[in-house]
Structure 1
Amino acid sequence: MITFNRVHSAVVHAKGDRQQLLGVHMTEQAADTISKLPHFASLLKEIKEEAERARSEALPELPFSVFHLFASQGTRKEYENPYFDKRGRLLALVLDAWLHPQQSDLEALHNVIWSICDEYTWSLPSHIAPTLEGVEASRVPPEQVVDLFASETAHALAETLYLLEGRLNPWVVYRVRREIEARVFHPLFDSPKPFHWESAIHNWSAVCGGAVGMAALLLEEDRERLAGMIDRVVRAMGSFLEGYEADGCCAEGVGYWSYGFGYYTYFAEMLFAFTDGELSLLQSDKIRRIAAFPAGVSVEAPKYVNFSDCSENYTPSTGLLSRLHLRTGQPVPVMTEVPSLHADHCYRFPQTVRNLLWTDPELLFGKVATGTFYYPDTAWVVDKQLLSGSLFAFAAKGGHNDEPHNHNDLGHFLLHVAGENLLADLGAGVYTREYFGEGRYQYLHNASEGHSVPLINGMQQSAGRSFTAEVLRYEHQDNKLMFSLDLAGAYPQEAGLRSLIRSFTWSCDESRGEAELVLTDAFAFTESLNEVKEVFISLHEPILETGSVIWRGNSGEVKLFYDANLFKVQHEAIDSQDHHAQAMVVHRIRLEAKAVPSEAFYSFRFVCK
C-alpha cells in the first residue's frame, strides 16, 4: 500500500519533466516521426478523414427529447450516439492539430470543445437517477455526477489543453478549466463523502479514478491539493485491484480488462512520470499476472475467449500492451494492426493517443501463446494447441453467478477451430435500463439458456453470489486436460438436484490434426422422474444428422456425437442483437431427455478438425 506520506512527499516535491507526462518526450519531432511510420498509416488516414468531416458537418445536438428517453423508455443509443460522435470529433481534431503543428485554423475544434462544455451533464442519462425525486435525493445534481464518461470527458479536455498548449484560444482554455473544476474536481475532491465507484471492485474505480487522476496531474497547480487528489485516486485504484483474484483473470472479459486495467495503466504511467519514478503502481506480482491475461485468453486474431459481457472479436490496444510488456515483461497477444480510430465507439482519448505514442512495432505480428492457461481463483481454463498449422482451443468456466457483468453461465464452454469460435459465447447484448435491472436474465445473452449449459426440470441457473460451481478436478494426464465442476449449486432448489458433475476431457492428436472434447454430465436427483435439456450455443448454423450435429466454419468444423436413443434433438435459430445493436442469429441446439431416473450419466463427444 502507498501511504499518504509517500504520495504527499512525491507529489509536492516532484521535479518530473512536464513534457514526459504522456510517457514519452513530447516534441514537435515526435509528431513528425509518428506521421512517417508505416504501421500508423491507416490510423492517420482515419484521423484526417474524421477531422475533415468534423470541419464540414454541423455538430450533433443533445436535446431534452433524447436526454429523457432513458428515463421514459429505458433506451440508451439515441442519446449516446450523438454524445460519442462529439467525442470522436474532439479526438480527431486534436490529433490532427497536434500532428500538424503549423495548422492555425482551429475553429471547428474550438466549437466542439465549447459544445461539450455546453452539455447539461457530462454523465450519461443511464448513470443518473431516472426520476426527478431520485435526482433531488442524490448526493450531487446531474451536472456534477462523476461517472465513467464525465471522468473521461474531463481527461479528454485536460489532455487537449496539454497537447495543444499555447495554440488554443485563451477563452476556450479558461472555460475548460472552469468546467472541469465545477463538474468533476469540486464534487469529487472537495467533499469527504465518496462516490460509489471509489470502493468498486470492477472497472469503474479504475476508469473514473484514472481519468480524473490524469486530469488532475495535467491541470492542478496547487501541489498540496494535488497530493490529496492523487491520494484519493490511489485508494480507488486499490479498490479496483481487489476485484482481481491472485490469478490475474478478468471475470469481465478482455474488453473490460482493456477498459479498467487500461485506465489503471494510463494513470500509473502519468503518475510515474510526474513523480520522476517515485510512485509506481506497476510493480507487483499480481500486476504482472493481470498484464498477462490477454495473451492467455487470445486465440486467433481477432478472436478471444469471451465469457461475460465481452465480444469474441477484439482488437487489442497496441500502445497499452507495448507499455505493459516494457514494464512487466509479460507476453502480449497476437497484434496484427494498430486499432482503428473507430475501434472504440466511445472515442476515448488515452487508447488512441497511447497507441500512437507507445506502440512497439517489434511486437506486431507475433505468435499466439499456446499451452494451458488455468486461472484457479476465477475457475477459468483455456487450452490452445497448434495442429497442422491450425489453432484448436477449448475454454470452460466455473465461478459464481454474481460476477461483474455477470452471465448465468457456470459450466459453459467454447470450442475454437482454425480462426472461428464454433461453439461460442454470445457476449454482450444491447445495453438498456432493463439489461442492468431486474430483467437482466430475461435477455438471452445473459440467461443460462443462452449458454452451453443444461436446463434441468425446466429450470435455468439462478443469479446471485450463492449460486456457484465447485471445481473438483483440474489436471493433465496422458496428454489430456481434465476439468470437472459440481454445478448443482448453480441451480435453484426447484431443479431437484442433489449433484451435477460436469467433466471435460480435452485432448489433441497432432498426427491426425484433430482435437477431441468428451463432455460428461452425471446427475443425481431428489425425484425419480426428471427432464434434462442439454444446450449448445453457436453462431454457425448446424447440420443435423442422426446421432450427430455438425457446426462447420470456413476452415474447420466441430462434430458432436450423442446417443440418439436417449435424446431428441431440436435446432432453434433465434434473432438477437449484439452490443452495438447489429442483427445476429443465435443457433441453439437442445438435446432433450425425458423420464430421466434419479441418477443418470450422459456423454457427448466433440471432434474438432
Structure 2
Amino acid sequence: MYISTLNYLNTLVNKLSTKNFIYILILCSLFSSGLKAQTARDLLQKSANPEQVKERLLPKEQWLKYPAYTDRQGWDNFTGEAKASLIKNGEQYLNYEWKVIKATEYLEYERSGSRAAMEAPNGANNTALSSLVFAELAEGKGRFMDQIINGVWYNCNLPSWAISAHLSGLQLRKRALPDPKDNVIELVSGDMGAFLSWTYYFFHDEFDKVDTIISSRLKENIQTRILVPYMQRNDYWWQASKPGAFVNNWNPWCNSNVLLCFLLMEENRDKLADAVYKTMRSVDQFINYTKEDGACEEGSSYWGHAAGKMYDYLQVLSYATGGKISIFDKPIIKNMGNYIAYSYVGNGWVVNFADASARNDGDPGLVFRYGKAIHSESMEHFAAYLLHRKENFDVQKSSSRDFFRTLENLSIYKELVQTQPSLPSFSSVWYPQTEVCYMKNKAGYFFAAKGGYNNESHNHNDAGTFSLYIDTLPFFIDAGVGTYTRQTFSSDRYKIWTMQSNYHNLPMVNGQPQPFGKDYKASNASFQEKKKTFSLDIAAAYGKDAAVKAWLRKYTLGDDKLVIEDNYQLAASKEANIINFMTWAQPDISKDGVVVLIKDNKQVRLAYDAAQFTASVETVPLPDKRLSNVWGDQIYRLSLKAKKLSLKGKYKFIISKQ
C-alpha cells in the first residue's frame, strides 16, 4: 500500500540555551525542524475567507447538539449505559479536599527537574472537577454542585492554569513560578480554558442561583487567560505566526481549545469571526508541516495529541459552520487518520518510534469519530477492536479533562458498540516522505522500520532502525522513553540512553553512534512492494569520526523470515563495528552463530556468521516506571562485535521462528 509522495527539506537552529524558550519548545516536541520551501496547502484559508467565516458561523444554540442541563430526559438518553459510571466517578469526589499547589512544588522543576511535584496535585484537582461535572450532568439533582463550585472557585484563584514545565519556557521571566500578569496559553491551560468554558455553558444559570459572582468571575477568568491573550499575541511559538516557523502537536491541541473557548464564550460576532479565522490560519501551518503521506513522526502514541487534536479542531469548526467549512475530504487529512490504524500491531502493541510507547490502546471513540468523518471503514472497525479490548470501558475517564471528547464519545457510543471489530488488512504500508515502512506476512511477522533524520519531532537518534513483532509479541524493540524530566527537554537529552542510536537496532561504526542534528539522516530510502524489501543508506546519519562512506542496509521480509543485510564502505577502520539489537526476551548466546529468544512460549532465533562476530549481552535495568510498565524490570542489548577491522564488507542476519 503506497501513500502519496511529496518532498520536504528541514531547517532549524541547533544550539540554544536550555532557558531559552525556543530550545525548550524544540525539545518539548521533540525535536522538529521548520520546513523549507514547500508550497503551502493552506486548506482552511482556501475553504473560507474572513467574510465567509463570519457569514457561515452559526449561533451556538443552533450547532450545539448536546442537551441543556435541565433537560433530564435528554441527558438520560444521551448518557445511556454510561450514566451509572459517570455518577459513580463523581461520587468519589463528593468529599474531595482540593489540593493546594505550593510555591516549592512549582520550583521543584527548576531545582531537581521533576515535573511531577507540581503536575500530580494539579492533575488530581482537574480529574476531580471533570468527574464531578459529568456526574452532575448525568444525574441532575444538584448533589455535586457545591463541589463543582469549589473546583471552579479554586481554578479562578490559581495564579495560572499552566504547568511548571511549560511556564519556565513560555513566561517572559522564564521561571517556573507563575506570574499572574503574564497569561500563558499552553496545553494544560488551554485544556482548562475549554473545560471551564463548557462548565460555564452548562451551569452558569445554576451558579447564579447560588451567587452571581461565580459565573461572572469564571467568565472574566476565561476572558483574561484565554480570549484576550490569544488575540493580542502572535508570539506563542505554537501559533506559527511567521512563515516556516516551528510547529508540532501543540498547534492543533492549543488551537482546538482556543476555538472552543471563543465559540462558547464570545458574544460579539465580529470578534468571534476574527478569532476563528486566526485559529484557521494557525492550524493551516500544522497541516502544511505534516508530510503528504500523513504519518505521525512523533510516533503512534502521540497521534491522539497531533492528528487527533487536529480532528477535534476540524470537527468543532465543521459543527459551528453547519458543515460549510470542512476539509475532511482532503487526502492528507484522510492519510493522517488512517495512519493510526495501520500502526497497530495487535493486543495493545503499536509501532513506537521516537518518544512513543510500545503499548497504546488509544481512545476508541476518537478513532471511530475520525473514521466516520473521512469515511474510513478501516478506522471504524479498528476503533471497535480497541473498544472490545477494554473491560468496563469508561467514556469519561478515557478523555479525562477533555470535555469535548467526552461529549462526543458519549454521542457515538451506541453506534461504536454495534460496529464489528477488526484490524486493518494489509501486507505493506509505505510512507515515502516520512520514510516509514510496515510489512506483514501470513506467518505472523509484523516488521516496522524508518529512515528519516535525527531532528524529527520527539526525536531519537535512530535513522535506519527497525522493530519486529511475531504473533503480535515484540522481539526486537524500540524501548521508547522514560518519565519526562527537565533533562528530557534540555541540551543533555542525548545523554539519556533511550535517545541514543547505540540503544536502537543499529550499527556503531568505528565506535561512534549517530549524533543529533538535521544533517544526520538516511538517504535513498526505497520500498519494493513485490519483493517486500525496504532499503536505505544510513552513512550520513553518522558523524565524521565514524568515517562512513556508505552503509547500505536492506530489510527483506520473506514468508518465514526477516533478512537484514548490511553492505558498508569506510574511509578508515579504527575500531571494530558493533551491530546492536534491543530485545525484550533475554538472548541466549550459548551457541556460536545463533541467538535464541524465548518469550511467552514463543521462540525466535537470529542467525549470524560466527566467523565474523562475537556475541555479548547487556542487561538494561528499567527503574523508570514509564518504561517498566511496558517491558517489566529489564530489557536486553545484544551486541555482535566484528572480529576483524575492514574498510568494506557485508553482514547478513536472519531472524525466524523456531
**So what's the TM-score if we normalise by structure 1?**
0.90
The one-letter code sitting in structure 2 at the alignment partner of 1:558 is V
Unaligned segments of structure 2, at least 5 residues: 1-42, 241-245
Partner of 1:78: 117
Q: Does the C-alpha gap of structure 1 residues 549 and 185 become closer, same or farther in structure 2, counting only changes over 3 Å? A: same
Gaps of 5+ in 1: 509-514
1:298-377 aligned within 5 A? 298-330=344-376, 331-332=378-379, 333=382, 334-337=385-388, 340=394, 347-359=401-413, 360-363=416-419, 365-377=421-433
CA distance in 2, matches of 1:131, 1:385: 48
2:487 alignment counterpart: 434
Cα distance in 2 for partners of 1:321, 1:131 equals: 31
Matched, 1:463 2:509: no
**2:191 & 2:326 partners in 1: Cα distance?**
22
Are the equivalent residues in 2 in contact too, given 1:211–1:263 (CA < 8 A)? no
Does structure 1 conserve the Cα–Cα contact (< 8 Å) formed by 2:520 and 2:540? yes
Q: 2:96 aligns with which of 29, 45, 57?
A: 57
Instruction: Specify which of 492, 495, 505 is matched with residue 543 of structure 2.
Output: 492
1:536 Cα deviation after fit: 0.7
| Distance of aligned partners of 1:123 and 1:109 in 2 relative to their CA distance in 1, 3 Å threshold | same
Alignment-derived partner of residue 596 in structure 1 = 645
Residue 394 (structure 1) aligned with residue 450 (structure 2): no
| 1:197 equivalent in structure 2 | 238
Counterparts of 2:73 and 2:442 in 1: how far apart (Å)? 43
Name the stretch that deviates more: 131-140 or 516-525.
Answer: 131-140
2:61 to 3, 6, 18: 18
User: Does the Cα contact within 8 Å between 2:130 and 2:400 map onto a contact in 1?
Assistant: no
SS of residue in 1 equivalent to 2:447: strand
Instruction: Quote the offset at 1:66 in angstroms.
Output: 0.5
Q: Does 1:171 align with 2:213?
A: yes
CA displacement at 1:452 relative to structure 2: 0.7
Deviation per CA, 1:22-77, whole angstroms, max 9, x where unpaired?
6899964453235433xx58xx53x4443222222312221001010111221111
Change (3 A) 1:24 1:364: farther
> 1-side partners of 2:267 and 2:171: how far apart?
37
How far 1:603 moved relative to its partner?
0.5
Amino acid at match of 1:74: G
Pairwise mapping of residues 545-560 of structure 1 onto structure 2 (< 5 A)?
A: 545-546=590-591, 547-554=593-600, 556-560=602-606
1:416-463 C-alpha deviation (Å, 9 max, x unpaired) = 122321211112221111111111111122111221111111111011
Question: SS in structure 2 opposite 1:313?
Answer: coil
Shift of 1:600: 1.3
Summarize the alignment of residues 229-244 of structure 1 with structure 2, pairs less than 5 Å apart. Answer: 229-244=275-290
Measure the CA separation in 1 of the matches of 2:520 and 2:473: 31
Q: Identity over the aligned pairs, expressed in percent?
A: 23
**Which stretch has the larger CA shift, 83-92 or 123-132?**
123-132
Which deviates more from structure 2 when the two are superposed, residues 217-226 or residues 584-593? 584-593
- In structure 1, what residue type is equivalent to 2:215? V
Q: Name the stretch that deviates more: 97-106 or 258-267.
A: 97-106
C-alpha spacing 1:142/1:318, structure 2 compared with 1 (3 Å): farther
Q: Which residue of 1 aligns with 2:654?
A: 605
Tell me, in whole angstroms, the C-alpha distance in 2 between the residues paired with 1:162 and 1:539. 49
Separation in structure 2 between the aligned mates of residue 316 and residue 457 of structure 1, nearest angstrom: 41
Which AA in structure 2 matches 1:18?
E
Letter in 1 for 2:654: R
Partner of 2:226: 184
TM-score of the pair, normalised by structure 2: 0.84
Map 1:524-535 → 2, pairs under 5 A: 524-535=569-580
- Give the distance between the partners of 1:63 and 1:538, measured in 2 at CA: 42
- Contact 2:87–2:136 under 8 Å retained in 1: no
Does 2:497 correspond to 1:444? yes
After superposition, give the CA deviation of every residue in 1:332-351 in whole Å (9 maximum; x if it has no partner).
13323465469769643333
The Cα shift of 1:558 comes to 2.4
When residues 81 and 395 of structure 1 are mapped into structure 2, their CA distance, relative to the original with a 3 A threshold, is: same
Partner of 1:512: none
Partners in 2 of 1:559 and 1:223 — Cα distance?
A: 66
| Mean Cα deviation higher: 561-570 or 492-501 | 561-570
Q: 1:131 to 1:274 in 2, by over 3 A?
A: closer
Q: What is aligned with 1:516?
A: 561
Residues 451 and 522 in structure 2, CA contact (< 8 A), matched pair in contact too: yes
Match of 2:135 among 96, 114, 130: 96
Amino acid at match of 1:544: I
Matched, 1:248 2:294: yes
Aligned AA (1:36)? G
**What letter is aligned with 2:634?**
V
- Cα distance in 2 for partners of 1:403, 1:268 equals 25
Whether the 8 Å CA contact 1:371–1:383 is kept in 2: the answer is yes
Match of 1:504?
A: 555
SS of structure 2 residue aligned to 1:299: strand
Q: For residues 49 and 276 of structure 1, what CA distance do their matches in structure 2 show?
A: 35
Deviation of residue 131 (structure 1)? 11
The aligned counterpart of 2:11 is: none
Say whether the 8 Å CA contact 2:363–2:398 is kept in structure 1: no
Bigger drift between 326-335 and 68-77 goes to 326-335
Residue matched to 2:437: 381
Q: Secondary structure at the match of 1:531?
A: coil
Determine helix, strand or coil for the equivalent of 2:135.
Answer: helix
2:475–2:583 CA contact under 8 A, matched in 1? yes
Structure 2 residue 469 is the aligned partner of structure 1 residue 413: no
Is the 1:578–1:584 Cα contact (8 Å) retained in structure 2? no
Q: 1:476 corresponds to which residue?
A: 529
1:32 aligned partner? 76
RMSD over aligned Cα atoms: 2.8
Deviation at 1:297? 0.7
